[in-house]
Structure 1
Amino acid sequence: MTADRHGHRMSDTGAEAAAHYEQALDDLLFFRPEVVRSAQAALAASPRSVMGQALGAYLGVLGTEEKDAAAAREAFARFRSGLDEGAPTRRERMHLAAVTACLDGDIHGAGRLLEDLTVAYPRDALALFVGHQIDFLTGNAPRLRDRIGGALGAWSDDDRHHGPLLGMYAFGLEETGHYERAEDAALAALAQHPRDVWGIHAAVHTYEMRDRFTDGIRFLDARTDDWAAGTLLTVHNWWHYALYSLERGDTARVLEIYDRAIHHDASPGAAMQLLDAAALLWRLHLAGNDQSARWARLADAWEGRQDGAHYAFNDVHAVMAYVGAGRLTQAERLVGDRQQWVAGAAPSVTNRAMTTDIGLPVCRALIAYGRRDWERAADLLLPLRHRLHTFGGSHAQRDAVQRTLVEAALRAGHADLARTLLSERIQLRPLCPYNWSAQARLEEHLGNDTQAAAAQERAGAGTSP
């Protein structure tokens, strides 16, 4: 029986397929688009390879694309129908269970199964990668950190994939607030592999959360050749660059990045890229910056996808696009569709709770905001602010929703609430220009001209080089 390079046996997998599988793992950990071709090559060489089939199914789920998940479900069902269930190894059976949970919509269950697998087989890179991505998609920051941290001790520093694991660990450290430790881990990962775009991604998150926007730009500029084209994270890392530019008040640079790298006529229309586009334009929308033409093109892209209920985080960003484009009827239609879906969805489907508890209330709040019903928007968002992580994403991504609550409170004239929200934000991120700019608007509303001027000065200080 063939084995991978860590000695894990691989059922029904020939030497050629095993080589393609190893290449696919390498492509996966380094976020190369070639991972799809490598995975297909493994299955072409050994169609009944259990690990090859598991890898292909995971790829169908991790992109949060409804159509890809459906195709993976059909292909995996065909494979399982002819499988001798007693033939695979214990590790492979654990993967089969995790894949089945994923394809059935039980993402939390899949994450738990992969956690058990990692305890038994800590050098299974596929289990670590998929589990880490599930932790990200479900907003489970402690597991995002500890899933990798618990396995790292079993990996040699000179293993080729030790670096990507450090990059993953760095992201988990960042999402749990260990920013300096996260930066160190990310830089250690990049010392091993400069083109580790997940490690780059982890580092830029640490700069974002510490309001080191100029440092973030310098970091990305110094590594442009390593991340700025040809990877599965290219658009997302450009999004981070645009966030830095936005905080520094350089709207022209933000729009240049948006048009060139984030959303344009040649964009493939992938959900994860469209949500980056929506999240960026929504921040401009909150600032009163009219981008109606860009919103219209983005709303067209979302509408053209004809998505059903699959991942509530995507739905929220689709509604941002519809509201930004003034297509409130389309936004309401999406909400109505998701309400009907929830009524019939099985309780074990992770997205059911995500949609019910977070997705639908946030969508309704965005629609209320679009109608200038600031009171309703604030009322809908306020109970969610400490639970938003349960529908996935990062702190940086979810901040678009948190800022919507701040803006709704300000516009509704809820000075006490706005003061509390801004005090929370300023204590955590005392150098963030947005926080001080919003504080200045609150002080102006209260007639405190001196305090408003001081806050505005602090906002300006945060944009300086």
Structure 2
Amino acid sequence: MVAQWKTDGISALWPEINGPFLSLRGIPEHLMPVTETQELYKDLLLGFDAITSCEMKELYKFKLFLNRMHQRSNLPPELLLIHKAFIAWVNFEYERARTLFTQHLKAYPSDIITIFFVHMLDFCTGKTPRLTAEFSFCEPHIPHTHALYSYYLAIKSFVLCEDQCFQEALELGLEAVRLIPHNIYGIHATAHALHEMGRWQELSSFLIDCKPDWIENSGMRMHVYWHMAIAHERCNEVEQALQAFEELYELKDSPFAKQDLDAVGFLWRLRLKATDSKFNAIWERLALLWTGSVSGSTSYFHKIHAALAFSATSQTLLIEKQIAESDGFGIEPEAHRAGLDVLKGILLFTLKRYHESLALLRTSRDQWPLLGGSRAQREVLDLTLEYIELKTRPIVEERAPA
């Protein structure tokens, strides 16, 4: 046990908090830090959780905390590289941040919390499959009896799914859920694997069966509901799909909470199938809510969903404003170029200049993973591209026989 704690790194600083943190429910109030180090660890986890939103404000707030942390002269050795890695992250030095995290893992290879840090950094920068290299190094040091082993399997399942190893991802996700049924990230990873494999009825049944284990999870339940709505829609169960959407939209923490990404993604799928005015009021609301935050994110994936809401409400000026204000600050160059092309493609699509939109989207297609999000979420761009291809396909007139 002593040897295991030595390799666990920051996970060993306060074991009681690790499970609730990786359950993504928020840290329970009854878990109060006992030592100064535990209090520091808790604030670090809360700050990390906030910056994964890619919001500039959250990055700056966490930077202020890290600066105060830097002034301490007695940081535990387990936190030294972690602290430097997060400073690099909030300074938009993503490669340096990743290098520092992986250096920490060389010293503490069974530190599953830090594996999660690297995973979320990769996810936010559009490089999710990259973590497979760290798995090969860390896994021999993580016993099946590790308290966080189920969560490790869940992280690995999602990464492998994004690397298109769908069957292995499914098996790992199911095993994670078997070990800890309320492991929300295991449920989430399993849903993604079934989605990628097109096993829609199985996905729907899985999420319905384990609903008691995810419906109370404030951090992930809206996204899991999105998976359920998609599964029903792909099974042509229209009423169930719309009901799932209504239920997910009612779960927002507040009317102004920034939780509209999945709502836009689902409604855009329906919009590409039919110009139904049933959701016009919701589209107007979504577009209005996005207007205040189009420049406050380092994620093009968020910017693109805002642009889709503006497109659905024919507000081309707002898309033009997005393009004008997107200068690439805090975003890696390749992702910036691809993101700009997609925004311009959505603008041209809204203006019904389909051939020009098609050219831009096709050109940037290979770079879409850098925009962030998951493969399942980025399907909204593939579906848009398919729609435009149909719009630009030459019409072949049927001629009567001579």
> Normalising to structure 2: TM-score of the pair?
0.89
The superposition leaves residues 294-352 of structure 1 with CA deviations (integer Å, 9 ceiling, x where unpaired) of: 111111221244642422111111111111122221222122111xx33xx4xxx4x14
CA distance in 1, matches of 2:226, 2:138: 30
Residues 140/171 of structure 1: CA separation in 2 closer, same or farther (3 Å cut): same
The superposition leaves residues 197-256 of structure 1 with CA deviations (integer Å, 9 ceiling, x where unpaired) of: 111111111111111100100111111101123331111111111111121223332222
Q: Is the 8 A contact 2:55 2:297 kept in 1?
A: no
Residues 202/266 of structure 1: CA separation in 2 closer, same or farther (3 Å cut): closer
2:379 equivalent in structure 1: 399
- 1:64 matched to 2:54? The reply is yes
CA distance in 2, matches of 1:160, 1:446: 63
- 1:316 matched to 2:304? The reply is yes
One-letter amino acid matched to 1:109? R
CA distance in 1, matches of 2:216, 2:359: 42
* Structure ranking higher on relative contact order (CA contacts 8 Å, 6+ apart): 2
Q: Is the 8 A contact 1:335 1:364 kept in 2?
A: yes
1:22-421 superposed matches below 5 A = 22-34=15-27, 41-42=32-33, 46=36, 51-80=41-70, 82-84=71-73, 87-262=74-249, 267=254, 269-271=256-258, 273-290=259-276, 291-305=279-293, 307-338=295-326, 341-342=327-328, 345=329, 349=330, 351-353=331-333, 356-413=336-393
Name the SS for the 1:231 alignment partner. coil
Q: Is the 8 A contact 1:322 1:330 kept in 2?
A: yes
Residues 189/316 of structure 1: CA separation in 2 closer, same or farther (3 Å cut): same
> Normalising to structure 1: TM-score of the pair?
0.77
Name the SS for the 1:385 alignment partner. helix
CA distance in 2, matches of 1:307, 1:47: 36
One-letter amino acid matched to 2:169? A
1:428-443 superposed matches below 5 A = none
Question: 1:67: Cα distance to partner?
Answer: 2.2
One-letter amino acid matched to 1:216? L
Q: Is the 8 A contact 1:171 1:202 kept in 2?
A: yes
| CA RMSD after TM alignment | 2.8
CA distance in 2, matches of 1:148, 1:372: 46
Name the SS for the 2:385 alignment partner. helix
Question: 1:119: Cα distance to partner?
Answer: 2.3
CA distance in 1, matches of 2:224, 2:252: 19
One-letter amino acid matched to 2:315? R
One-letter amino acid matched to 2:47? A
1:450-461 superposed matches below 5 A = none
Which stretch of the first structure deviates more once superposed, 50-59 or 121-130? Answer: 50-59
CA distance in 1, matches of 2:352, 2:120: 36
The superposition leaves residues 98-137 of structure 1 with CA deviations (integer Å, 9 ceiling, x where unpaired) of: 1101111223332232122212211222211111111222
Residues 380/210 of structure 1: CA separation in 2 closer, same or farther (3 Å cut): same
Q: Is the 8 A contact 1:61 1:69 kept in 2?
A: yes
Name the SS for the 1:97 alignment partner. helix
One-letter amino acid matched to 1:281? L
Name the SS for the 1:94 alignment partner. helix
Q: Is the 8 A contact 2:6 2:108 kept in 1?
A: no
Residues 76/265 of structure 1: CA separation in 2 closer, same or farther (3 Å cut): closer
Question: 1:8: Cα distance to partner?
Answer: 6.6
The superposition leaves residues 171-193 of structure 1 with CA deviations (integer Å, 9 ceiling, x where unpaired) of: 11211122111111111111110
Q: Is the 8 A contact 1:138 1:389 kept in 2?
A: no
CA distance in 2, matches of 1:373, 1:226: 46
CA distance in 2, matches of 1:182, 1:120: 27
Residues 163/10 of structure 1: CA separation in 2 closer, same or farther (3 Å cut): closer
1:422 equivalent in structure 2: none
Residues 295/244 of structure 1: CA separation in 2 closer, same or farther (3 Å cut): same
CA distance in 2, matches of 1:123, 1:393: 27
CA distance in 1, matches of 2:112, 2:8: 14
